[in-house]
Structure 1
Amino acid sequence: MSSIDLIRMGVKNLWRRKLRTFLTVLGVIIGTSSIIVMLSLGFGLTEGFQEQISQWGDLTTINVHQRWVDPSMPGQEQAKLDDKAVLSFKEIPNVLAVSPTLETYGAVINGRYIAQIPIKGIDPDVMTEFGFETVEGRLLNNTDELAVVFGGGMKHNFWDPNARIWREPKIDLMKDRMSLTLNPNYGYEQPGRDTPNYKEYKIKSVGVLVEGNWETDYGIYMPIKEVQKLIKDKEKSENAKPQRGQSESQYQQINVKVNDMKNVQDVQETIKSMGHEAYSLNDQLESMKQTAGIIQAVLGGIGAISLLVAAIGITNTMVMSIYERTKEIGVMKVIGASLKDIKRLFLFESALIGLLGGILGVIFSYLLSFIINHFGASFMGNFLGTGGESDISIIPIWLVFAAMAFSALIGIMSGYYPARRAMNLSALEAIRTE
């Protein structure tokens, strides 16, 4: 029997019993769509977690801090965050850029309006690599003096300390004349209390960052050498000793930019082995992914039960088909059909049921996914805090092909026992049955 004859006969047999074939295919459709939709909810949850955390900062940036060492424990040396550490981090594979950072606090003065903010020193040469983008102006360069780049949300951070009713001022971060003081209590000074004589610096705004990143929205950025000078002036005003990590030889923190999110964990472990503390938002994302994976496994298991029921339905259909076609099977054997041909015929019919159910199940899954995303996206956005932009159900293309292949495989497995039974029928007994 040729393959074309086998296909023609298999399709004819299924079409002859349309209602039973339809009901069997319907079971596969329900089972396949259940698995796809259930897994897609897990993928949507993972994507929502990633979108939420990406708003907190860059997922490919590692924050390196100085590890605390118990002074009472002998023989322990504290790894320093200095220029030597910066060079060693640059030599780690998959590291794209490294920038030491210094941070202090002060206030930006714009007429009668003020804004208390963190002042962050960064290496201007690597701002592009770290993903800084401006909506106005430009990024910093090494020749800038008392030049600042404002965070995207800084225009909402100004207020009038003397106003009785708060009104959001109209601030132009690029054009307004502004000054900077390192007085952390500016605008909150209490009468009768001595306040150090902090300097006031005229600053020049060279750029405003894109709004939407919680890590960069509220604060100003300056070249690290400028922040070092400001910290020295602040210490002189306060008659304070230099704080650890704020000298020219040591930094408070070093940021390491990795070329790909999948390499963050390896680079982070390498930095920890050097004696430093390293943290990235990837740590929290991995924890959330594990939670989403557990939920996805549970949902997938529920969907798998539906497909198991569909597999039982295919087996039942094929067994019933054997009882109804006993004489046909006997005639095929008498006229010379091989046992292999009979087995292939029944396996083809069961595989066709599984594949057809898988294809229609995929189409039905996309329809369900569209409905879920259309009516449930706002709920997911409120739950994750992403503003309703996340899809609840995400169906990757590989899941589509995997589902169709799996449903066809389920069909073949379900038809294997009926096919073996058809092979073992005696030709004479089969003909004599009817």
Structure 2
Amino acid sequence: MQFKDQLDFVRQHVKKNRMRIFTTILATTMGCAFLIVLASVAFGLQNSLKKEVLSDDTLTRIEVYNDGNKEIEPTEIKKMKNVNAVTMNTLIQTGNLEANIDAYKGSPEVILTDFKENEKANLKLSKGTYPEKADGVVVGYNVAQILLSKEDEKKLEKEKDASKINIGIQESMIGKKITLNWKNEETKKKVTRTFTIEGVGPKPKKEWEQDGTIRISKEHEEALVQDLKTLYGKKLKAEEMIYRTTAVYATDLEAVTAINKALQDEGYATYTVSQQLEEMNLLFLALKAGLIFVGTIAILIASIGIFNTMTMAVTERTREIGVMKAIGASPKLIQRLFVMESAYIGVIGTVIAVIISYIVSFAANYAIPKILYMATNEKEFLTTEIQFSAIPWQLVVIAAAISIGVAILSGWRPARKATKIDVIQALRQD
């Protein structure tokens, strides 16, 4: 019997028992669709978190911490292979600071940094350029909204939601003078520095983030720290006044792992986005495996229906099997025909399940944000980039292999039973 004839044979018997086959295929479809949709939640959340992590920082960045065991030596780190730049930022965390641009006042944070290293690290600005003069500074993207005039303060008293009104400096800040005043409220003394704005930092990637910093050249650090000591008391230690952060930038993504290992071997405490991604991927791998296991149980339950359907098929066709054996059909051919029938149920059920799963996935990503918005009245849910469900081709392949494999195994036992039917007894049946 040719393969085409075998397929025709299977189709004829499927048509004879449409309702029974339909319910069996339905059970297989539900089990396979349940597996795919359940596991798609893990794939969707992983994609969302991965996108969040990657948008939060650059993959070539390695943060280096001073954990008290080893002082950070930027000169030595720069000598390491494939290190592109080393940025050291010093946050001034002491003092009552007020910044002025014309009639606008506010209290931003001051960070001392090396502009040349920032340029090497390819940290782009939204406007202007990195300063070349000693009195040049780069202000954060949101500094213009932090500095307010008296009219702006009156507007805020009437309208608490700042997003609904125009406040702060509306025109370009490039070229404007900014004055920083540190004041001692007890002695009424103050330290004043005036700088020229030459650049504006990049726009924060998240709507809720704000960059209200003013970045000054590290050349001013020694003099500024000394002035603040004089202003607030000479007993104040430098480490109490400032907080340092260090970041190492690799030349490319492939070099990150090697540089990170070299830094750790030198005794530095480090953190990289790639490390976080590896830990996150490991966590989601375990979660996906668990969800696929739970979904497989649903398919195994559906396999009971396939087993019963094929057992009944063998029982009903006992005489037909006897005739086939009598005219010379081999046991292997008879077994193959029944296995093909169970595989047919698995394939049709899987195809329908995949189609239904994609529809459910699309509907979930579309509807869930709207449902959450209606439940909480939070507009953020309408603009969220969270992916609640994602179905990659790998998941489809895994689900299809499990579903079709279980279907074939479910039909294997009845198919073996069909090969052992006695010809004489089979032909005697009415």
TM-score range, shorter-chain basis?
0.7 to 0.9
> What's the % identity of the aligned pairs?
24
Pick from 342, 348, 351 the counterpart of residue 340 of structure 2: 348
Q: Superposed, which structure 2 residues align to 1:288-299 within 5 Å?
A: 296-299=288-291
Letter in 2 for 1:66: N
Paired with 2:225 and 2:207, the residues of 1 have a C-alpha distance of: 29
Partner of 1:172: 171
Corresponding letter in the other structure for 2:86 = S
Higher mean C-alpha deviation, range 119-128 or range 336-345: 119-128
Q: How does 1:133-172 map to 2 (within 5 A)?
A: 133-135=124-126, 137-140=127-130, 143=132, 145-160=134-149, 165=154, 167=156, 168-172=167-171
Give how far 1:337 is off: 1.3
Match of 2:263 in 1: 271
Question: Mean Cα displacement is larger for which, 397-406 or 410-419?
Answer: 397-406
- Determine if the alignment matches structure 1 residue 204 to structure 2 residue 197: yes
Distance 1:346 1:304 in 2: 23
1:216-260 deviation line (CA, Å, top 9, x unaligned):
8414475xxx6222212202323469846999xxx9333134588
Q: Mean Cα displacement is larger for which, 341-350 or 47-56? A: 47-56
For structure 1, the 5+ residue unaligned runs are 70-77
Task: Name the counterpart of 1:98.
Answer: 85
Q: Which runs of no fewer than 5 residues in structure 2 stay unpaired?
A: 157-166
Give me the whole-angstrom Cα distance separating, in 2, the residues matched to 1:415 and 1:118.
73
Q: Indicate conservation of the 8 Å contact 1:315/1:415, yes or no.
A: yes
Once the two structures are superposed, the pairs formed by residues 379-390 of structure 1 within 5 Å of their partners are 387-390=383-386
Q: Could you tell me which residue of structure 1 aligns to residue 393 of structure 2? A: 397
TM-score, length-scaled by structure 1: 0.80
Task: Say if 1:369 and 1:394, in contact at 8 Å, map to a contact too.
Answer: yes
Tell me if the contact between 1:151 and 1:209 (Cα under 8 Å) persists in the aligned partners: yes
Q: How does 1:237-316 map to 2 (within 5 A)?
A: 237-238=227-228, 239=230, 243=238, 252-257=244-249, 268-280=260-272, 296-316=288-308
Specify the SS of the correspondent of 2:417: helix
Give the drift of 1:119: 1.9
User: What whole-Å deviation, never above 9, does each CA across 1:37-86 have from its counterpart, x for those lacking one?
Assistant: 111111222233334445654465321022313xxxxxxxx343231123
Change (3 A) 1:293 1:267: same
Report what 2:77 is aligned to: 85
Aligned amino acid, residue 417 of structure 1: R
Task: Find out whether 1:195 has 2:189 as its counterpart.
Answer: yes
TM-score, normalised to structure 2, is 0.80
Q: 1:260 and 1:349 mapped to 2: Cα distance?
A: 54
Q: Is the 8 A contact 1:103 1:121 kept in 2?
A: yes
| Residue type of the alignment partner of 1:232 | E
Secondary structure at 1:390 match in 2:
coil
Cα distance in 2 for partners of 1:299, 1:68 equals: 43
2:180 corresponds in structure 1 to 181
For 2:265 and 2:413, the matched residues in 1 are separated by 57
Indicate whether 1:423 and 2:416 are aligned.
no
Query: CA offset at residue 297 of structure 1?
Result: 4.8
- Structure having the higher helix fraction is 2
Give the total of aligned pairs: 405
Q: Which amino acid aligns with 1:389?
A: E
Structure 1 counterpart of 2:222, from 221, 228, 232: 232
